[in-house]
Structure 1
Amino acid sequence: MKKYSEEFKLMVVREYLEGKLGYRALAKKHGIKSKSAIDRWVKVYEKLGQEGLTSKKHTESYSVQFKLDVLSFIKRTGSSETDAALHFGLTNPTIISSWKKAFSEDGSEGLNRPKGRPPMSDKAENIKGKQAKKSEMTNEQKLERENELLRLEVEYLKKLRAFQMDPEGYLEKHKQRYHSNSKKPSN
């Protein structure tokens, strides 16, 4: 995504507010890929003024509760990400889509992840931590896993015994199943 300077955004917004050209015409005139970017700039300018157009280095971090409030507001009111951003005073509405994705993938834990890559010195510790989490199964989880593996083993041994007792009959029986699965209509 191309970054635009504050001066450029302000010029385009003022040109729009003069009323001579619409979003699409301005986007074409200035070589902006999407008219929605201009729409977003205008809304931010109208709500927050010139300061809303300043590119902030993403130093500001938001609490998990704040992110949940924003996502809840969108779900409750059906607002767009841009409208929600303006409602909560965010100058970058696109950040909300990354919050949505993180929340849908990992729930509220996904919203608590630190930004960026971890420092290189912590990388080895992170790998060890992930391995420790994998090995920290509860006793119940370990027993369930063992039960599942034993069930699979018993099922395998039954099929093996059936095959050893009557290989041709076993193959004939399963051959029908495989043929019926492979006769799916082709589009």
Structure 2
Amino acid sequence: MGRKAKFSQEKKLEIVKAYLEGKASSLDLSRLYGCNASTVRSWVEKYQVLGEDALRESSRNQSYTSEFKQIVAEEYLKGDISLRALAVKHNIRNNKQIQDWIKRYNGHEELKSYKRTDGGVDMAKGRKTTYEERIEIVEYCMKNGKDYTAAATKYEVSYHQVYDWVKKYNKGGVVSLKDNRGKGKDIENMDETERLAAENRLLRAKVERLEIEIEF
């Protein structure tokens, strides 16, 4: 059974809006509501990146696959993102969880998975997808700040699949999302109109995300 939340989603949103509207500092709000200033800032960051849903308390203890933990640890070790930003990006409860995964990863210890019992999608299990599906999934991921977890859950694919498709797209464009195995059409023979349409679709997703970030 998950622990009872001290602050409801509505209360968190109230605190976040008070901060963003300049009514009080994170320190003032922490004193007023009886929480840490760092917690207030964390809620603000999550809200700015993921919206109101990021402030919702899960009804169960959050579980993560070994695959997910490894990808998060490797992402941090690349040196391009802080622990806090990584926690916000993947909606992970706190930095200490990530630090523990990194420690285990560096020590070559097993990053164990915890089985979900709520009937939700097992993000460790991938599935076959069409080219159009991969375009749609990457587009969704781009529009939502590269939220691989949300994309994996929404489209019932593995976290690793989403991560890999976005990585391929960033490196080689839409042609890299084409499955060239079997009797499918060769990447080199893709219709130019098809290629440009897909590129424009994903570029629009990038622009929309940048516009949202600029507003904040």
> TM-score, normalization: structure 1?
0.50
Aligned residues: 111
In structure 2, what is the equivalent of residue 147 of structure 1?
none
Which one-letter code corresponds to 1:107 in the other structure?
A: H
1:51 and 2:53 matched: yes
Q: CA deviation at 1:29?
A: 1.6
In structure 2, what is the equivalent of residue 85 of structure 1?
87
User: For the pair shown, which has the larger CA radius of gyration, 1 or 2?
Assistant: 1
Cα distance change of structure 1 residues 9 and 70 upon mapping to structure 2, 3 Å threshold: same
For the residue of structure 2 that corresponds to 1:79, the secondary structure is: coil
Where structure 2 has 5 or more consecutive residues not aligned to the other structure, the ranges are 116-216
Say which of 66, 69, 89 aligns to 2:68: 66
Cα distance change of structure 1 residues 66 and 114 upon mapping to structure 2, 3 Å threshold: closer
For the residue of structure 2 that corresponds to 1:28, the secondary structure is: helix
Q: Greater share of helix residues, 1 or 2? A: 1
In structure 2, what is the equivalent of residue 176 of structure 1?
none
**Does structure 2 retain, via aligned residues, the 8 Å contact 1:53–1:91?**
no
1:6 and 2:18 matched: no
Map of 1:167-186 to 2, 5 A cutoff? none
Give the whole-Å Cα distance in 1 for the aligned partners of 2:114 and 2:92. 20
In structure 1, what is the equivalent of residue 112 of structure 2?
112
Give the whole-Å Cα distance in 1 for the aligned partners of 2:99 and 2:72. 11
Say which of 18, 28, 31 aligns to 2:21: 18
Give the whole-Å Cα distance in 1 for the aligned partners of 2:37 and 2:80. 22
Q: CA deviation at 1:28?
A: 1.3
What is the RMSD computed on CA atoms of the aligned residues?
2.6
**Does structure 2 retain, via aligned residues, the 8 Å contact 1:44–1:91?**
no
Give the whole-Å Cα distance in 2 for the aligned partners of 1:112 and 1:12. 36
Give the whole-Å Cα distance in 1 for the aligned partners of 2:8 and 2:75. 30
Q: CA deviation at 1:86?
A: 2.9
Q: CA deviation at 1:6?
A: 1.4
Where structure 1 has 5 or more consecutive residues not aligned to the other structure, the ranges are 116-187
